[in-house]
Amino acid sequence: MRMVDIIVNKREGNANTQAEIDFLINGYVNGEIPDYQISAWLMATFFQGMSDEESFYLTKAMLYSGDIIDLSMVDGVKVDKHSTGGVGDKTTLVLGPLVASVGAKVAKLSGRGLGHTGGTLDKMESIEGMSIDISEEKFIEQVNDINIAVAGQTKKLVPADKLLYALRDVTGTVPSKPLIASSIMSKKLASGADVICLDVKIGDGAFMKTLEDAKDLSKIMVAIGDSFGKKVTAFITDMDQPLGHTIGNRLEVKEAMETLMGNGPEDLETLCVNIASYMIYYANKAETLEAAKQLAYDQLHNGKAFAKFEEFIQAQGGVVPNLNDFIHVDEVMPYKAKKAGYIKQIKALNIGLASMKLGGGRETKEQDIDPNVGIVLHKKVGQCVEVGEVLCDIYRNQKWSDDILGLLDDAYCIVEEVVETPETIKTIIG
Ligand code: URA
Residues 271, 199, single domain; the answer is yes
User: Does residue 141 sit within a domain?
Assistant: yes
Query: Is the pLDDT reported for residue 234 higher than 90?
Result: yes
Of 315, 345, 377, which closes a domain?
315
What is the 37 CA–ligand 1 centroid distance (Å)?
Answer: 21
If one residue of 173, 184, 207 were mutated to test the ligand 1 pocket, choosing by the most ligand atoms within 8 A of its CB, it would be 184
Decide if 38 is inside a domain.
Answer: yes
Query: Across residues 239-259, what is the average pLDDT?
Result: 96
**Cα–chain center distance at 164:** 19
Is 35 in the same domain as 172? no
Read off the CATH number of the domain in which 42 is found: 1.20.970.10
Instruction: For residue 293, give the 3-state DSSP assignment.
Output: helix
Average pLDDT over residues 270-285: 98
- Does 65 reside within a domain? no
Instruction: Using the atom order of ligand 1, give the atom closest to the CA of residue 184.
Output: 3
Instruction: Say what the alpha-carbon torsion angle 205, 210, 211, 214 is, to the nearest 10 degrees.
Output: -70
Asked if pLDDT for residue 292 goes beyond 80, the answer is yes
Length reported for the chain:
430
CATH number, residue 378: 3.90.1170.30
Q: How far is the CA of 330 from the centre of ligand 1 (A)?
A: 35
How far is Cα 270 from Cα 252, in angstroms, rounded to an integer? 16
Which of 183, 209, 217 to probe ligand 1 with, by most ligand atoms within 8 A of CB? 183
Residue 52 φ/ψ, nearest 5 degrees: -60, -35
Confidence category of residue 114, pLDDT binned at 50, 70, 90: low
**With b meaning 16 or more CB within 10 Å and e meaning fewer, what string describes 226-263?**
eeeebbbbbbbbbbbbbbbbbbbbbbbbbbbbbbbebe
Distance, CA of 414 to CA of 418 (rounded, Å): 10
Q: Which residue has the higher pLDDT, 364 or 277?
A: 277
Same domain flag for 164 and 282: yes
301 and 339, same domain (yes or no): no
Question: What spacing in Å lies between the alpha carbon of 175 and ligand 1's midpoint?
Answer: 9
Contact 368, 314 (CB under 8 A): no
Q: Taking residues 50-56, report their average pLDDT.
A: 96
Instruction: Tell me if 62 is assigned to some domain.
Output: no
Assign residue 172 the CATH number of its domain. 3.40.1030.10
Ligand 1 pocket by Cβ (under 6 Å): 84-85, 180, 183-184, 207
Q: Which protein residue's CA is at the shortest distance from atom 6 of ligand 1?
A: 180
Q: Is residue 228 part of a domain?
A: yes
pLDDT at 206 over 90: no
Which of 80, 81, 174, 188 for a ligand 1 pocket mutation test, highest count of atoms within 8 Å of Cβ?
174
Nearest CA to ligand 1 atom 5: 180
Please check whether residues 277 and 247 belong to one and the same domain. Answer: yes
What is the domain count for the chain? 3
Residues 6+ apart with CB under 8 A from 71: 78, 107, 140, 143, 192, 193
Per-residue pLDDT, 368: 84
User: Nearest C-alpha to atom 2 of ligand 1 is from which residue?
Assistant: 184
pLDDT tier for residue 205 given thresholds of 50, 70 and 90 = confident
Q: pLDDT tens-digit profile of 378-391?
A: 999 999 999 999 99
Q: What is the pLDDT of residues 141-154, one digit of tens each?
A: 999 999 999 998 88
* Same domain assignment for residues 92 and 16: no
Catalytic site residues?
82, 161, 168, 183, 187
**pLDDT score of 365 more than 80:** no
Ligand 1 atom at minimal distance to the Cα of residue 165: 6
Asked whether residue 305 falls in the same domain as residue 346, the answer is no
Quote the ligand 1 centre to 352 CA distance (angstroms).
18
**60 found inside a domain:** no
Question: Residue 150 in 3-state DSSP?
Answer: strand
Whether the CB-CB separation of 356 and 247 falls below 8 Å is answered with no
User: Are residues 151 and 180 located together in one domain of the fold?
Assistant: yes
Residue 277 and residue 283 in contact, taking contact as beta carbons nearer than 8 Å: no
Instruction: Share the mean pLDDT of the chain.
Output: 95
Say if residue 280 is in the same domain as residue 339: no
Q: Is 294 in the same domain as 147?
A: yes
pLDDT at position 161: 94
Both 98 and 236 in one domain: the answer is yes
Identify the top-confidence range among 134-143, 359-368, 381-390: 381-390
Nearest-CA residue for ligand 1 atom 7 is: 180
How far apart CA 417 and CA 212 sit, in angstroms, is: 27
Give residue 119's pLDDT band: very low, low, confident or very high (50, 70, 90): confident
Q: Domain of 281? A: 78-315
* 36 domain residue, yes or no: yes
Q: Does residue 111 register a pLDDT over 80?
A: no
What average pLDDT does this structure show over 351-367? 87
Q: Please report which confidence band the pLDDT of residue 207 belongs to, taking 50, 70 and 90 as the band edges.
A: confident
What is the 315 CA–ligand 1 centroid distance (Å)?
30
Give yes or no: residues 173 and 304 share one domain: yes
Q: Is 83 exposed, middle or buried (0-12, 13-18, 19+ CB in 10 A)?
A: buried
In a domain, 377, yes or no: yes
Of 292, 315, 338, the residue that ends a domain is: 315
Which range is most confident: 31-45, 170-184, 398-412?
Answer: 31-45
Look at residues 280, 315, 350 and tell me which one is the last residue of a structural domain: 315
CB 82 within 8 A of CB 106: no
Q: In what order do the strands lie in the sheet with 374-377?
A: 246-247, 374-377, 390-396, 331-336
Look up the pTM and report it: 0.94
Please identify, by atom number, the ligand 1 atom nearest to the C-alpha of residue 111: 3
Distance 419 CA to ligand 1 centre (A): 32
